[in-house]
Structure 1
Amino acid sequence: MSSHMDNVMLFIEEDGTDPETGQPFLGLYEGTPLTERGEFWAAGSLPDRITLYRRPILDICASRSEVLYEIQVTVIHEVAHHFGVDDARLHELGCG
């Protein structure tokens, strides 16, 4: 899958909160999905960002194996956004 990704970086931050709901984020995709990039998109574009939020992930997990699983699920969820899959479709697929 990584060979199909383009101009995206992964970051780890301590905390992140949804400004609309006040709920903690586990992860966040910021950028232009591949499905929305035009012919001249790359000219001067900064990399997309996938950020994982350490504290919220640790807060919902009770064991190391749960943490590793939640990181995997969160990364897959955010990478799906990079490929143009929205939250509604991810929920339909059971990946919400």
Structure 2
Amino acid sequence: MPRVVVNVMLKPEILDPQGEAVVNALPRLGVSGVSTVRIGKRIELEFADDLDEETVRERAAEAADKLLSNPVIEDFELHIEAVEPAP
């Protein structure tokens, strides 16, 4: 069964307040040298086995564009992975 991983990130020109909070907190935790942090989300979609890769990619892109991301302020990437059946 194919799995599509959708990574959604704010566009580079959009301020990321969560990322700023993390980058400012890291030195207090003893982690130095980090200059930028961007926070995003990962969504995994599993599709039925009978769908070809092109159909899976098209449906995942449609879901990402219409529901999983806000195209005004976010970009997304799709990665198709093969899922091994459970023993």
| Structure whose residues are more often strand by fraction | 2
Asked whether the two chains share a fold, i.e. TM above 0.5, the reply is: no
Which protein, 1 or 2, shows the higher relative CO under an 8 Å CA cutoff with sep ≥ 6?
2
Give the structure-2-normalised TM-score.
0.33
